[in-house]
């Protein structure tokens, strides 16, 4: 999460309740790598947390929770898990941080429509609006969206998923994803929705935990980001690049980060590259 610390005790308790209500473990689907689509007949063991085993893909190095929860399980979990988010202590500094990044994205596209995905309390959207962009933000969580509407206006923010937003037919020149991919039960549907939302010639900024970073603790399960089923995926750079390429995107740049958090810029691939990706 970019705007809160997940409560380990609450996740643990909520997971126990969801497990009690949801299908038995042997009825849940086995995991596979959602990045490179490799079935987990062979994998490496990364530990256990909250009743889930964490397994790594031998092909691309991404990690995922096992057994993989189905939609019914996740619905039960989110019904019960409602963690209160804490906004950053310095809102102005947070907006300035986003403003600097958004300025660099504006140099890569001529369009003015901005969409913040997983926007939390809306600081990226506030920053985009200050730069005279037509800014909107979406998040699945009710609390930060309510707060964001007070900061800018209710017309700028919607509580929804990227998949549902894409069905409305609205598009943006800059799609700024602060979080969401790592929590998605279907990352391929998430990226396919991203493809529908991005205008031709547009640019994507994406953040997600880096599951192969050199600063991850040797005991993977002790990494504070590891919180299944609230966070299901811990992609490697290779994994994210493979996932994006499969849906017609090309990574233009990975940013170096001392913290185990991946930051990248991507654009729609050329038609030739897109056809190559479709064959995979």
Residues 195 and 159 in one domain: yes
Q: What is the mean pLDDT of residues 180-188?
A: 95
Distance CA 248, CA 51 (A): 36
Residues 52 and 96 in one domain: no
For the stretch 16-68, pLDDT in tens is 554 445 444 455 456 789 999 998 878 899 999 999 999 999 999 999 999 89
Residues 61 and 115 in one domain: no
Q: How far apart are the first and last CA of the chain?
A: 32
Q: 76: pLDDT confidence band, cut at 50, 70 and 90?
A: confident
Beta strand pairing status for 134-139 and 157-159? parallel
**138 occurs within a structural domain:** yes
Look up residue 270 and give its two tokens.
């050329």
Q: What is the mean pLDDT of residues 7-14?
A: 58
Distance CA 157, CA 145 (A): 7
Other C-beta atoms within 10 Å of 153: how many? Answer: 10
Alpha helices in 88-141 (DSSP H): 91-106, 123-130
- Which one of 17, 51, 80 terminates a domain? 80
Angle (nearest 5°) at CA 226 between 222 and 230: 145
Residues 48 and 136 in one domain: no
- Which one of 60, 80, 100 terminates a domain? 80
Which residues form the domain of 211?
A: 91-279
Whether 157 and 138 have beta carbons less than 8 Å apart is answered as yes
Residues 49 and 153 in one domain: no
Residues 32 and 122 in one domain: no
- Give the CATH number for residue 253: 3.40.50.150
The whole-number pLDDT of residue 154 equals 79
Task: Name the residue with tokens 């790592």.
Answer: 182
Residues 190 and 55 in one domain: no
CA dihedral 139, 105, 276, 62 (to 10 degrees): -50
- Taking Cα atoms as reference points, which of 229, 186, 260 lies closest to residue 54? 229
Task: Say if residue 217's pLDDT is above 70.
Answer: yes
Say which residue, 65 or 278, is predicted with more confidence.
65
Residues 211 and 141 in one domain: yes
How many domains does one find in the chain?
A: 2
pLDDT exceeding 90 applies to what percent of the chain?
68
Least confident of 144-153, 195-204, 243-252: 144-153
- Which one of 80, 104, 131 terminates a domain? 80
Distance CA 230, CA 4 (A): 13
Residue 3 phi/psi, 5-degree rounding, is: -125, 15
CA distances from 48 to 96, 137, 220, 221 (A): 38, 34, 9, 6
Other C-beta atoms within 10 Å of 238: how many? Answer: 16
Residues 107 and 56 in one domain: no
Say how far residue 70 (Cα) sits from the centre of its chain: 18
């Amino acid at each position: 999460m970019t705007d809160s610390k997940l409560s380990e005790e609450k996740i643990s308790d909520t997971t126990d309740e969801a497990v009690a209500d949801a299908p038995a473990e042997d009825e849940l689907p086995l995991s596979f790598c959602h990045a490179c689509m490799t079935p987990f007949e062979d994998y490496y063991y990364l530990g256990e947390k909250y009743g889930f085993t964490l397994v790594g893909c031998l092909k691309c190095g991404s990690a995922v929770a096992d057994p993989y929860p189905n939609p019914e399980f996740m619905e039960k979990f989110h019904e019960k898990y409602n963690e209160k988010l804490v906004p950053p202590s310095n809102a102005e500094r947070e907006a300035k941080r986003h403003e600097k990044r958004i300025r660099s994205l504006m140099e890569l596209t001529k369009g003015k429509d901005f969409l913040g995905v997983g926007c939390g309390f809306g600081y990226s959207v506030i920053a985009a609006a200050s730069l005279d962009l037509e800014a909107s933000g979406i998040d699945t969580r009710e609390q930060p969206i309510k707060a964001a509407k007070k900061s800018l206006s209710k017309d700028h923010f919607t509580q929804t998923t990227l998949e549902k937003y894409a069905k409305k037919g609205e598009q943006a020149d800059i799609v700024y994803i602060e979080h969401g991919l790592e929590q998605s039960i279907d990352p391929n549907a998430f990226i396919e929705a991203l493809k529908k939302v991005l205008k031709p010639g547009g640019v994507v900024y994406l953040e997600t935990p880096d599951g192969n970073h050199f600063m991850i603790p040797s005991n993977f399960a002790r990494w504070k980001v590891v919180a299944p089923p609230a966070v299901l995926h811990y992609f490697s750079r290779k994994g994210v690049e493979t996932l994006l390429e499969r849906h017609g995107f090309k990574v233009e740049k990975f940013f170096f980060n001392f913290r185990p958090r991946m930051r990248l810029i991507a654009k729609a691939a050329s038609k030739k590259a897109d056809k190559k990706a479709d064959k995979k």
